[in-house]
Amino acid sequence: MRACAYGLKTDGAAPVKIARIILFVALLSAISCERAATQPGAVAPDFRLNDLTGQTRFLNAELARPVVLTFFATWCAPCREEIPHLIDIHSRFRNRATVLCVDVDPENIDKIQSIARSLSIPYPILLDEGKKVMAAYGVQELPTTFIIGPNGRVASTFSTIGEREKKTLIETVERIISK
């Protein structure tokens, strides 16, 4: 045992424990900062992604109206289950809001195209090479959906969209449109 600066006796493990605590707090802060970028009220990170047709899309170019931005993967069953809801939302707000889908597994392009054709997905599917946009938004689970107002700020976020979430999402988009 040795005495530390405050007169307490330690076995030498205290500095290691303190270092671990500091590292843990630093990691939590980094995670919190990443998620804070996509919390309601935060400015949504702009991006530049190609869609399935090869056209480049920019978020800022879409912000003349609200944007429903969803993150998707072909292997994600809940992602596929919410597609009919997103199609309904796209149809409902066709000229007043934009639905964009960011696919985070573009290496499965054939599967993405097959899903888009078989479900007649009318909204653009964007390919997130290297998951850079997913990281910029702090997406930790799929699906994740953001409602972004024309001011470029995140208005709301959703995990999986079912009937109840769809109702809330529609109300949120209608509220943004009416402003």
Catalytic residues: 76, 79
| Residue linked to tokens 């997905």 | 121
How wide is the angle at C-alpha 165 spanned by C-alphas 94 and 167, nearest 5°? 55
φ/ψ (deg, to 5) at 158 = -140, 150
Strand (E) or helix (H) holding 54: none
Query: Strand, helix or coil at 33?
Result: helix
- Cα gap 90→149, rounded to integer Å: 16
Residue with tokens 């449109």: 177
155 in Cβ contact with 71 (< 8 Å): no
3-state secondary structure of 53: coil
Q: Distance between CA 153 and CA 43 in Å, rounded? A: 4
Taking the C-alpha atoms of residue 40 and residue 116, their distance in angstroms, rounded to an integer, is: 30
Residue 58, strand partner residues? 48
